[in-house]
Amino acid sequence: MTQDATSSGPTGIEPSRTGPLAHLRVLDLTQFLSGPYATQIFGDLGADVIKIEAPEGDITRDLPPHFVGGQSAYYLSINRNKKSLAIDLKRPEGRRLVRALALSCDIVVENYRPGVLARLGLAYDDLAAEKPAIIWCSISGFGQDGPYRDRQAYDMIAQAMSGGMSLTGEPDGPPVRSGIPLGDIAAGLYGVIGILAAHAEAVRTGRGKCVDVAMLDCQIAMLSYQAAYYLVSGTVPGRQGRGHDSIPTYRAFLCGDGLEVAITANTERMWRNLCRVLDLPGLADDPRFAVNARRQENREALWAILEEAFRQRPAAAWVADLLDAHIPAAVINTLDRSLSDPQVLHRGMVLALAGPAGEALRVAGNPIKFVGESEAPHRYPPALAADDESVLADLLKLPAEEIAALARSGVIGARRRVPGEGAG
């Protein structure tokens, strides 16, 4: 599917659910980023996602610095296509409601610390005994077992412990956290993959699974060839800076206008074309640089020559010539440039939403496209407790009087967060 920047205008309507996962219902017991990111993917693909929050709401609803209609941009970026119920899990009546909702769903996703929900009487084994096909996914910092099981973790902790931060930054500088929250995002993505694998098996066997996803595990897996390099050689890699350990012409270079251009001249043909584009004809046959292995051995000398050449012209001019020579290249964009790029807009990756009170919101879109299908309209991220009555009535068949009594007693419904109060 392709769409231009004007074909996905704001929508405030409640769309009828369509998409490949429209047959699934997901109970979302998550907060912060990793879990909500996973469940938003399910919502984008058509699943009915029911987000359960404490009466004070997901703590990210109040996260500064940017707000739209009183809701944090952080919260709004990862909670579209969901319904919100506010239920007090500290109350036995609240726990009974959540258990009943879980049994009415195909999938439960949670990112509490291990054991927290079990202590509240909400454990996979108990639910599976009553509904064998249910799929439960726990996303945590370190997994459901092991010596670090009970530790609390956030994105930067996973990046730090995995060694990923030690690879990030300039070679002579300190370790740097990735500007993209890789620890949380990767856990959300792997969680979705695990759930879909479990669902595929449940379709065949009628039995679900408990999917255990650890942020640290995901970061270790993403070390990929860097882990292999160390395990094979015993050499601890340092910070990667703007380049690559194996290919010296896979690197960023500063251009004459102060912008940097990233190039990936990975093959011998690309290398020769690079020398031609940079007007360095003798360089291709210089014995120091004639093949990649020699270029790698003499990379510092090579980089100095290439840096000097790139400084002679602005980045956009170099990119145009490099692309003409079939060398992948791109200006290193800031977000204002990337989020207005014509390819990004054409693919619908800046998504416009409108809230029920006229809120206007733009967020990053869904990258999963289905050829020949238009993208379904999206539901604006829900206000806290917006769907209490409709979900409890439609799904659990509770009468209006009982729902009203639950609200009066504080078992359901929103209440203001105490200043300084954190998430449980």
- Same domain, residue pair 219 and 296: no
Rounding to the nearest 10 degrees, give the CA dihedral for residues 191, 193, 197, 200: 110
pLDDT band at 405 (very low <50, low <70, confident <90, very high): very high
Structure confidence at residue 290 (pLDDT): 93
Distance CA 54, CA 422 (A): 11
Instruction: Note whether residue 269 is domain-resident.
Output: yes
Compute the average pLDDT of residues 343-350. Answer: 98
> CATH number of the domain that 193 lies in?
3.40.50.10540
* Total count of residues recorded for the chain: 424
Structure confidence at residue 2 (pLDDT): 35
Structure confidence at residue 1 (pLDDT): 35
pTM: 0.92
Structure confidence at residue 28 (pLDDT): 98
Distance CA 201, CA 133 (A): 10
- Same domain, residue pair 51 and 188: yes
Neighbours of 238 (CB within 10 A): 14
Could you tell me which residues come within 8 angstroms of residue 7 by beta carbon, excluding any fewer than 6 positions away? Answer: 348
Q: What is the pLDDT of residues 149-174, one digit of tens each?
A: 999 999 999 999 999 999 999 999 99
- Same domain, residue pair 65 and 198: yes
User: Which residue do the tokens 């379709």 mark?
Assistant: 203
pLDDT at 222 over 80: yes
pLDDT at 14 over 60: no
Q: What tokens does 136 get?
A: 């439960």
% of the chain residues with pLDDT over 90: 92
Any catalytic annotation for residue 184?
yes
User: Which residue do the tokens 């509240």 mark?
Assistant: 120
Could you tell me which residues come within 8 angstroms of residue 261 by beta carbon, excluding any fewer than 6 positions away? Answer: 252, 253, 255, 310, 315, 318, 319, 322, 329, 330, 331, 332
- Same domain, residue pair 192 and 107: yes
- Same domain, residue pair 284 and 392: no
pLDDT at 13 over 90: no
Instruction: Note whether residue 253 is domain-resident.
Output: no
Could you tell me which residues come within 8 angstroms of residue 316 by beta carbon, excluding any fewer than 6 positions away? Answer: 257, 259, 331
% of the chain residues with pLDDT over 70: 94
> CATH number of the domain that 298 lies in?
3.30.1540.10
Instruction: Note whether residue 350 is domain-resident.
Output: no
Q: Domain of residue 317: give its range.
A: 260-331
Q: What is the pLDDT of residues 46-64, one digit of tens each?
A: 999 999 999 999 999 999 9
- Same domain, residue pair 118 and 60: yes
Which of the following is catalytic: 44, 58, 155, 184? 184
Counting the structural domains of the chain, the total is 2
- Same domain, residue pair 168 and 44: yes
Distance CA 276, CA 164 (A): 36
